Amino acid sequence: MADPAGGPLAWAERDGLVGHARPRCDRIQLRGLRFVGTHGALPSEETLAQPFEVDLDVFADLSAAGESDDLAKSVDYGGLCEAVREVVEGPHVALLERLAERVAAALISTGGPLVSGVEVAVRKLRPPVPFQLSSAAVRVYRSGLPPVRAFVALGSNLGDRWEHLRRGVSLVPDVVAVSAVYETAPVGGPEGQGPYLNMVAELRTRRSPGELLAAAQGAEARAGRQRAERWGPRTLDVDLLLYGEEKISTPDLEVPHPRMWGRGFVLAPLADLAPDLVEKMLRPGILDGVRIVGTLASGGLLARAAGNHEGARSRATGRAAKS
């Protein structure tokens, strides 16, 4: 299917995920697994055996097992229980968060390719605190799917623009690369705004689009962003541009970003990281007024990005001459 927004990717429809929603799929539920382990942050807990209780939700497509009545086409929950036992009865960890993380990883490994995600609740049944507390627990969700290549745009034209970008990148999860930083005049909005600094970060993530949206909004809030008027000046703007090859449309989130293919201040930094995605969208003039002003990374990246930027301009001009 062609991208209706004119982009170069082939999109697969995605059931919208908002906030921390879980995949809509089958699941195996296991409740009240109890094992004894030596886990806790206190020195005495390194050797003190105490009971832990674990609840599991294992997300998987169970349709083939339901149709065939064949265990080989499902996930053996006996194997899942054994995987949990090995972790809880295994080497000491200080935090319940770490224990839950190790249980989730063991379940994904044991469950194999059928498992698309797991939700794990780990409870310490005798927490060593001076209160009437029946248990202390941590619940985590982890995806079993391969990481998705995603891109996030960041921009700022208020206050210390460089610091807002640095802080924003630090608050976006799973960043593996950043573009150079570009300065451009504001597009739309009220008169008298200052110029923007813009960049793009590349992610390798197993988080849902909704979770990335929440992280983006959290980063904006930490920067003190005020949403007083449409396209008004802002300390930090963080937008999810692309999430793999998926198309997402919910009341809270639209991906790919609906205006990205017509914005030079998005295409220029995106071309630093994914020139194959941007190549067909370049046209004469689209990069006018977009200039490199620095980088949050090494000087080598800035030189390479400058070369990419000039190459992109040349290719856009050459394409126009041939048409």
Torsions phi, psi for 178 (to 5 deg): -130, 150
Question: Domain-by-domain residue ranges, the chain?
Answer: 27-143, 147-322
Contact 235, 164 (CB under 8 A): yes
Quote the DSSP letter at residue 259.
T
Q: How far is residue 119's CA from residue 107's CA, in Å, rounded to a whole number?
A: 10
* Six-digit token string for 268: 């220029």
Contact 228, 240 (CB under 8 A): no
Q: How far is residue 197's CA from residue 158's CA, in Å, rounded to a whole number?
A: 10
Active site residue 124: yes
Superfamily of 147-322 according to CATH: 7,8-Dihydro-6-hydroxymethylpterin-pyrophosphokinase HPPK (3.30.70.560)
- Using CA atoms, how far residue 273 sits from 26, 108, 277, 299, in Å, is 36, 30, 9, 16
The 10 Å CB-count burial string (b at 16+, else e) for 246-273 is bbbebeebbbbbeebbebbbbbbbbbbb
CATH 3.30.1130.10 fits 27-143, yes or no: yes
Listed as own residue / partner, the contacts of 250-254 with beta carbons closer than 8 Å and 24 or more positions apart are 250/16, 250/17, 250/18, 251/18, 252/18, 252/210, 252/213, 253/16, 253/18, 253/209, 253/210, 253/213
pLDDT value at residue 226: 66
Query: Which of the residues 73, 124, 247, 280 is marked catalytic?
Result: 124
Cα 113 vs. chain centroid, distance in angstroms? 21
Sheet holding 27-37, edge to edge: 27-37, 50-60, 115-124, 136-143
Q: How far is residue 91's CA from residue 267's CA, in Å, rounded to a whole number?
A: 49
Q: Where are the beta strands (DSSP E) in the chain?
A: 12-13, 27-37, 50-60, 115-124, 136-143, 148-156, 175-178, 180-184, 196-205, 237-243, 246-249, 254-255, 291-295
pLDDT value at residue 116: 87
Handedness of CA 103, 106, 108, 111 (dihedral sign): negative
Over its length of 323 residues, how does the chain's per-residue pLDDT go in tens digits?
A: 233 333 333 323 333 333 334 455 789 999 999 999 999 999 999 999 999 999 999 998 888 899 999 988 899 999 999 999 999 999 999 999 999 999 999 999 998 888 888 999 999 999 988 998 999 999 999 888 788 999 999 999 888 999 999 999 989 988 888 999 999 887 766 666 788 999 999 999 888 888 889 899 999 988 886 665 555 578 898 999 999 988 888 888 888 887 887 787 888 899 889 988 887 777 777 777 888 888 886 544 444 555 555 555 555 555 555 55
Cα 128 vs. chain centroid, distance in angstroms? 35
Please tell me whether the overall predicted TM-score, pTM, comes out greater than 0.75 for this model.
Answer: no
Torsions phi, psi for 222 (to 5 deg): -65, -30
> CB-side exposure of 295: number of CA atoms within 13 Å?
16
Handedness of CA 110, 112, 114, 116 (dihedral sign): positive
